[in-house]
Chains A and B, each alone.
Chain A
Amino acid sequence: MRGPRCTVERLDQPSAYFNSRNKRRRFDKDQRDGDDDTNMQNDQPEEDPLKDAATLYVGNLSFYTTEEQVYELFSKCGEIKRLVMGLDRFTKTPCGFCFVEYYTHQDALDCMKYVGGTKLDERIIRTDLDPGFTEGRQYGRGKSGGQVRDEYREDFDEGRGGIGRALQARMRAGSRDRAGSRDYDEDYGRGK
């Protein structure tokens, strides 16, 4: 990739989330492919889907953070080509994530290094390289229409609608519900 391993970790690498998803996919493929020798050959030309990525997933935004605020902060890494706010499926209001697309891969990497993990609207935000937004792409959103992480959250987060919506619903209904079928995996699920 970039020569020898650095003596300190790089902040512009894709997150464990992206890697684990990819690895799993690759692993499945390897299993099907059969013996080790062919794997070695197949592994080499594998195209890194993020090698030119100019888009970032931005998470842990407050529901009240506006596009203008995102613009103001993220423009410090380069001109923004496109900004797509993640909206609640039903209410069409921001549900705490967005995609920022730059003109260049370098700007996106710089953003990983300099913006990810800093505050916007007084919340620590998260950035992750993303292969890019395509029209019609849907994101893993829970039953209530927002991100899955906001379904079962047990802490009270004022910026993200209080406690998890599923819990709220359960409290409203006053009925015991089992929280068994959690589906954390679909937090901003890709390509579904």
Chain B
Amino acid sequence: MADYDRRGSGGSSSYNPKKRRYRDDDDHDRRGPRRRYDAPPHVRIRKQLIAIAENPMRPWHEEVQAIVTLFTDNWDDELLRSNFVDLVLQLAVEQPLKTPFVAAVVLVANGNRPEAVDMLLAKLAGRIEETIGKGEWRDVKLYLKLLGCLQGCLEGEGVFPVLEELFERAVDLQTASSEDTIGTEIVKIILLTLPYVMASAPGQWAQKAADLMEKTEIIASEPHTLQTLIEPYQPGTGEDSPPQSQSLIGLLQTQLQNEANDGWALPCLPRPWEFPLGEVEQRSKLDDAAKHALPTINIPQTVVSGPRPLFPEIYFSVYANQDVESVPPVTNAAASLIRDALLDTINVLDFNRNITARHLIDLDCYFAPRTFAARATPFDRLRDIEPPKSTWKPEDVAVDAVFSQLLQLPNPEHKLIYYHSVLTEACKLAPAAIAPSLGRAIRFLYRSSPLMDLELTYRFMDWFSHHLSNFGFTWKWTEWVDDVYLPDVHPRKAFIAGALDKEIRLSFAQRIKNTLPDPYKEMITPEKEKDTPDFKFASDNAPFAAEGREIAGLLKRKASDEEIDAVIQRIQSQAIDREIDALVASTDVFVTCVLHVGSKSLSHVLAAIERSKDRLADAGAASDAARAQIISATMAYWSAHPGVALVIIEKLLNYSILTPETVINWALVSRAGNTRGEALAAAHVCEMVFNTVMKVTGRVRQLVVKPSSPASDADESETRDREIRAMRALFAAIEDALASWATGSKDEMIEASDSEGNNDGEKMVRRWGQRWLRVFRRRAAIEEAFLVEAEKERARRAEEQARSGEAGVEGGEARMDAD
């Protein structure tokens, strides 16, 4: 028996062979079913704390009380005590939806074991100081949220002095520069902390809050200079104007003002520290619990922007302007508070999308009861809900939050595919609830896609096709059937074409065709259903057909360079006779043959390119026209499957057979020119240019952040400057090419409008030009901002190094003196 007792409280139960033997000797089996093994208390408390509030059937105060009892009963267990503090802090930054509940455990525990709160506050203050120092602003916010929830047990003014000092920094930064984003971030954090403070200590701090908000007003209400850069919509010149987007902190400021006028009711926030009126003892215990002094939190004079570049934020919703409010309106603080908690959950938990999805589905567990309508209430039934009951659909609120990230400019925190995967898992967990919400989001985005920023339209397209690929490619295509008859250059038709192409890339043409209503089927041409494209030299109608077949044969049997040279010479001399560019002609034949020989799979074509890379590089280096012809031939050969062409072009860029300029010129000057600008409507053309730009900027970024060693510094900075110059030149070339499309001053456009008076088409092309231009201007601006930040960082590091170097030298001298 003694043995069992020891096991019960013995902390980590390591495998003990002796125990086994003892049990074997002593016949315990007769006592009926095996005795249940009880985990040690520190394990149980970890489990319970992590799972807090997950079970909607369990009243909050009971759950909180149970954990506190387990905690105080085992107070002597040192492991349990220290683990508890660490776990509370960890939960605050890993599962932010649970912060108020975890705080409730701390507040109730304060009644029995006030020293636990002191232990926690000491560590919490340290963490806040540390994260401010590093510029890890989300963690700052999440720790402050926990601290805010503890305001009720803090001495003096509690959190307010910290918020006020933070505000001082924000003012300094904002006065110094109108482009400052750290100050904006700090104001956001202050405003998002305030509601938790007010909910934790109701009725006490109204004046303090009013004073603070009077100060934040100036910064929060002023539109940020960078805001135009990150607007999700691009207003056209047409009659339909997009919804006006609003800055997050501007909205927050007015929402909280409303709350202040309403006595800080904040009805959506959970208050798990409040016990029912019947529990008199608990209530008075809470009221009489000890108050604690908040340890000093030192905030450095200069704060840094941290590991992630900061941008002002915009509040985006796919469910705005519906006839029934299925999400909180932007006038209500709930919109910002719920969104904020969800976004933190989503972005923190990127390492387990299943749990993220679980939290999104269960989000009504973490807010006050009656904040939302019942789960899975169909949208049409929201109309029947009688006020003042809530019509907010939890699924809509969850889906809205994910889309706000997927469609955040300039970039969300994680790769876009993470947000795809969250929606996929949410849909798998609760298909009947989530799928209809997604459907309405899709319809909204499809309708507004022509007005959206072009980059976002393509993000939507990419998500849409990927999402369908996870759910059997089922979509009610019949809804959009009228748009199939629109001209290809129309944004909605272009969207359909692009989405179908992406679906086919993830699947195959026949499969996708079977999911479509008849009118769409014509968009999937017979070429797309072929395993490999036709070889144009198979028929004698093509010029140089015989030579093409010959080269293909030579490549197949891996013939020597000389043999291939001979045929190429023949092509070139024939071309000269026909007065066409000899090098372009031979390059076209050769590239087409390489592609044909490698048509079986990407491995095949990459191997074929690898074998002939010298010849391709020579051809490309010989003239701009020949280099452009490499792309033309590739795009022509794989015209039915542009995805394959794009991979090949990416690899050709890696081999430096192509240059980024070649790609940009091919797409924006020749290809767009040959199609009177209609190529600008093709998703894959934009994808090609975008990928190329990202490759260039990615390389520059890599060079810029690379810590330089003093030895190779000169070399490195030269490479760096060269690459930066090249990047700027590339952006300038894009700007040049696009500006004329955007203003309609392109020769091809002027000709077109002269001859046909094709007004609509011309207008649409101009609009495409404008949308493209916005995307790449933004990219350019972001890279410039990145360079500025990196330069600052380099200067800071150099200074640091110099200082530590000096110290070292001085130290050395001192030692010599001593000798």
In the complex, what distance in Å separates the CA atom of A115 from the CA atom of B466?
11
Q: What is the chain A residue whose CB lies nearest that of B506?
A: A72
Among A25-33, A116-124, A166-174, A178-186, the stretch in contact with B: A116-124
Is residue B629 contacting chain A, with contact meaning CB distance below 8 A? no
Q: Is the interface of B mostly helix, strand, loop or mixed?
A: helix
Are B95 and A7 in contact (CB-based, < 8 A)? yes
In the complex, what distance in Å separates the CA atom of A78 from the CA atom of B416?
11
Interface size on B, residues (CB 8 A): 41
Is residue B217 contacting chain A, with contact meaning CB distance below 8 A? no
**Binary interface encoding of chain A residues 99-120 relative to chain B, with 1 for a CB under 8 A from any of its CBs, else 0:** 0000000000010011100111
In the complex, what distance in Å separates the CA atom of A114 from the CA atom of B421?
6
**Binary interface encoding of chain B residues 331-357 relative to chain A, with 1 for a CB under 8 A from any of its CBs, else 0:** 000000000000000000111111100
Is residue A10 contacting chain B, with contact meaning CB distance below 8 A? yes
In the complex, what distance in Å separates the CA atom of A69 from the CA atom of B90?
40
Are A118 and B416 in contact (CB-based, < 8 A)? no
**Binary interface encoding of chain A residues 65-76 relative to chain B, with 1 for a CB under 8 A from any of its CBs, else 0:** 011110111011
Residue B506 contacts which of A9, A67, A110, A121 (CB distance < 8 angstroms)?
A121
In A72-92, the 8 Å CB interface with B consists of: 72-73, 75-79, 83, 85
In the complex, what distance in Å separates the CA atom of A76 from the CA atom of B643?
13
Is residue A12 contacting chain B, with contact meaning CB distance below 8 A? yes
Residue A76 contacts which of B350, B417, B470 (CB distance < 8 angstroms)?
B417
In the complex, what distance in Å separates the CA atom of A69 from the CA atom of B349?
28
* Shortest distance from the beta carbon of A180 to any chain B beta carbon, whole Å: 33
Is residue B557 contacting chain A, with contact meaning CB distance below 8 A? no
List A contacts of B417 (CB < 8 A): 76-77, 110, 114-115
Q: What is the chain B residue whose CB lies nearest that of A81?
A: B654
Is residue B505 contacting chain A, with contact meaning CB distance below 8 A? yes
List A contacts of B561 (CB < 8 A): none
Are B420 and A114 in contact (CB-based, < 8 A)? yes
* Shortest distance from the beta carbon of B466 to any chain A beta carbon, whole Å: 7
Are A110 and B415 in contact (CB-based, < 8 A)? yes
In the complex, what distance in Å separates the CA atom of A187 from the CA atom of B215?
65
Are B50 and A7 in contact (CB-based, < 8 A)? yes
Q: What is the chain A residue whose CB lies nearest that of B654?
A: A79
**Binary interface encoding of chain B residues 462-500 relative to chain A, with 1 for a CB under 8 A from any of its CBs, else 0:** 100010011010000000000000000000000000000
Are A69 and B506 in contact (CB-based, < 8 A)? yes
List B contacts of A72 (CB < 8 A): 502, 505-506, 643
Is residue B303 contacting chain A, with contact meaning CB distance below 8 A? no
Is residue B91 contacting chain A, with contact meaning CB distance below 8 A? yes
Is residue B87 contacting chain A, with contact meaning CB distance below 8 A? yes
In the complex, what distance in Å separates the CA atom of A128 from the CA atom of B508?
26
* Shortest distance from the beta carbon of B311 to any chain A beta carbon, whole Å: 22
Are B424 and A118 in contact (CB-based, < 8 A)? yes
List A contacts of B415 (CB < 8 A): 76-78, 110, 114
List A contacts of B508 (CB < 8 A): 69
Are B352 and A9 in contact (CB-based, < 8 A)? yes
Known: A8-B355, A73-B466, A122-B507. 5 other contacts (CB 8 A): A7-B50, A68-B505, A71-B647, A72-B506, A110-B415
CB pairs A–B below 8 angstroms (12 shown) = A6-B351, A8-B95, A8-B351, A12-B351, A72-B506, A73-B466, A76-B415, A79-B695, A110-B414, A114-B421, A115-B421, A118-B421
